[in-house]
Structure 1
């Protein structure tokens, strides 16, 4: 691999040689996009979440300095506000967004914050002991060209 390149993973029910940005019923943390992670175990969980079997897709990501990128290195006030906007349906102009992923527990805390059930201070009190995972999302066709498919492999729920 060249300098700056990284291996990214995407969990799915199928091989995704040609990633797409699809509109869905619900907005995700960073709005509609093609989501990957640095963590193969996390992609494995994504792949098996519905049926107990799926595919982990592997890509080489080559950063492109012409793309507009937003990166959150940790959960911050700016990260929380960005997720609240995205989940509320407000789109953004970034090609790529990278940062912590709200796992199921943190997702619930964010939803409670959005719904006004807990305060911002309560969110941070609840979230501070939770370790978020990683996500990088691609939001434009140009961003998707930074990914090169390597392989896909089947994974299963080991339970």
Structure 2
């Protein structure tokens, strides 16, 4: 698997699974009716932030991550990231590879920590992955997320020092 900078041509491969994941409404705080143009603008970040794709040997996009400054000004030393793995390629270590990549990017860029602002507590696979890579739950916003099947569930704020 290769992780490389995403470009506008990659969006055609990302959009179908991005749309599927967002429309499901169970892991991201994005509007479930997000348009393709809005999604592209929110996901493909300009420098100094970064968006990458994970591809296999044939060049098939397996997943994507975006990395950014979490806050501005005197909080700009904290990074954040978001991840999406094509469900057709889940369980193959794509999410773990993308998460490790973003941690190294943040460290190399001089960030002191990473913070995830809204990890849905029922997204147990993501929570388990992030914990295994050194993230801790700092707190949970009770009923901060309206899950389509489980009702109101918590949103974790997760953090790790770099």
Q: TM-score, normalised by structure 1?
A: 0.27
Larger helix proportion of the pair:
2
TM-score, with normalisation over the residues of structure 2? Answer: 0.27
Which structure shows the higher strand fraction? 2
